[in-house]
Amino acid sequence: MPTVILLDVSLSMTSPVQLKDGTETTRKHLAEIGINAFLDHLSVQSKLEFISLMAFSSLYEERCPFTRDYAAIKAELKNIDDYDKTCIETALHGVNQMVLGEWGNNSACQIIMVTDGSTGVGPKSLKDSLASLNQRSSKSTFPVPFTFPGKLHIICITPSSDLNFTKSKPLYQRLIDLTGYDGSILVPENLQTETSVTNLFQKLAEDMYTTFKGVLKCGNLESKVILSPAPVPYTRVTDFECHTRSISDLIDVCGFVSVGDVGSPMAVGRHLVLPAPTLGPGRQEGAAKNDADAADEDVGDEGRTASFCVLLHGALRVENMAALVSLGENWFGFIYSWADSKKKSNLMLTILTPGSDAVPWLGDLNNLGSSESFSPDQVGSFPVKPSEKRSYSQNGVVWIRQAGLQSDIQKILRHARKLPEKTQQFYKELNRLRKAAISLGFLDLLNGLAYIFDQECMQLPGSAHPDCALQLQHAAEVLRKTQNRDIKYVVVPLQTNYTNS
């Protein structure tokens, strides 16, 4: 899950802090130490996470775009200068723009705001911003709730007993509540030690990026795998209750389906499937590697060990198939080979919405069986076509822009000028537009179209066919009558000597 680190670089962050060893530092320096500890934890446990760095005071500045190069973020932290006062609203506007530009409004994102507990002063303070929420115009809307699913964590480099923090905490909590997700407000246990700040950031990293470890199984073959990013619980809200489900640790392969038949079903998450690293002999889980030789030895041993995860990836890529997997009771997903470049491919898991009808064209996933159980003439391809034939020759009417409506009216008028040869086409298009207008409640369009027909009658050239004026007058009269506003009513041509001949 992408993460934005918001670092407060206002003048209050430069206030001195006396450490227990007698040395003096600043809150900004302690924040840098904590962020470095946060990045160190990710470099070991969650190497695939994208992190960006933004500095803010009265303005905001994107110091480092979303990247997996944590060393670049650490180097950028050392080059950030100090600026003026704190303005949290401006910084949150910058977060919205950064995330929307990189990920869109559907990707969940974490925001970590590191500050000293001050909410600013004056018109741009957080207190003033929250007090004016209901008096804002559409052009100056408050940036929270975010335009994307965002969870906000606020880390205050200040003692918990600080009077300024005590006043700011309710404002921070209201800001988190506005996001609509469960965020947190964190302070170090003891500001006089760097270890306390480091532990705070490491604990936040552990809570935010818990590694999902499970078992991928197919018959008698199995492999320990890691899903990155870790899947979040799925919540379905109904009228009277809320259901939350988490996927099982056992990912069981049920069968294999052609990638073309799977298509692109709606999904609640997509994750990389990575083989879990195996521990060498005598090495305990979580033990640190002391030198590069030991690390190279472990990599070499892992490369010589048979892995079902690698076998499945190669088979799916060669056969262009996807594996249907069970993720829990009546919950399914697909594992397939996905390539982000011509040289490198990855094993991916797409988690479907819970239920056996998540892919409509495949039907009930519990009823899928092997094609070997049926004769060749009984085996078809997906999607399954219904036996009856339906006509979709007449397209639906969609008016998104003004030009679309003008085009439909001009088409009717072109047919009207060629009456009586185009009588059938004229009334077909007229009934099509009339039905759409009644369905949308756009009754003024019917009166306007009748007025256009009257004007056309007055402007017809002398060489025009007499039936042209008669049909236009007839159509205008029918459109004006309120008793003809039934959607099932069909406007029929006026029977004249010209149409009868």
Instruction: Give per-residue pLDDT as tens, 342-395.
Output: 678 889 999 999 998 888 888 888 888 887 777 777 666 666 666 666 655 556
What pLDDT shows up at residue 282? 47
- Across 100-122, average pLDDT: 89
Place of tokens 């009558």: 481
Q: What does the mean pLDDT of the chain come to?
A: 85
| Distance (Å, whole) CA 269 – CA 231 | 7
- Across 325-347, average pLDDT: 87
| Distance (Å, whole) CA 319 – CA 336 | 10
Query: Comparing 111-115, 170-174, 257-261, 318-322, which segment has the lowest mean pLDDT?
Result: 257-261
Per-range mean pLDDT, top range of 68-77, 230-239, 379-388, 486-495: 68-77
Structure tokens at 206: 């552990």
Do 270 and 350 contact (CB within 8 A), yes or no?
Answer: yes
From the centroid of its chain, how far is CA 353? Answer: 15
pLDDT at residue 281 is higher than 70: no
| Distance (Å, whole) CA 72 – CA 5 | 14
CATH superfamily of this structure's domain 3-208: von Willebrand factor, type A domain (3.40.50.410)
| Distance (Å, whole) CA 474 – CA 479 | 9
Every domain of the chain and the residues it spans: 3-208, 212-281+320-378, 403-500
What pLDDT shows up at residue 293? 44
pLDDT at residue 431 is higher than 80: yes
Its pTM stands at 0.61
DSSP E strands: which ranges in 259-329?
Answer: 267-275, 321-328
For the stretch 154-206, pLDDT in tens is 999 999 888 989 999 999 999 999 988 888 999 998 888 899 999 999 999 98
| Distance (Å, whole) CA 89 – CA 130 | 9
Structure tokens at 175: 């800001």
Q: What is the DSSP letter of 140?
A: G
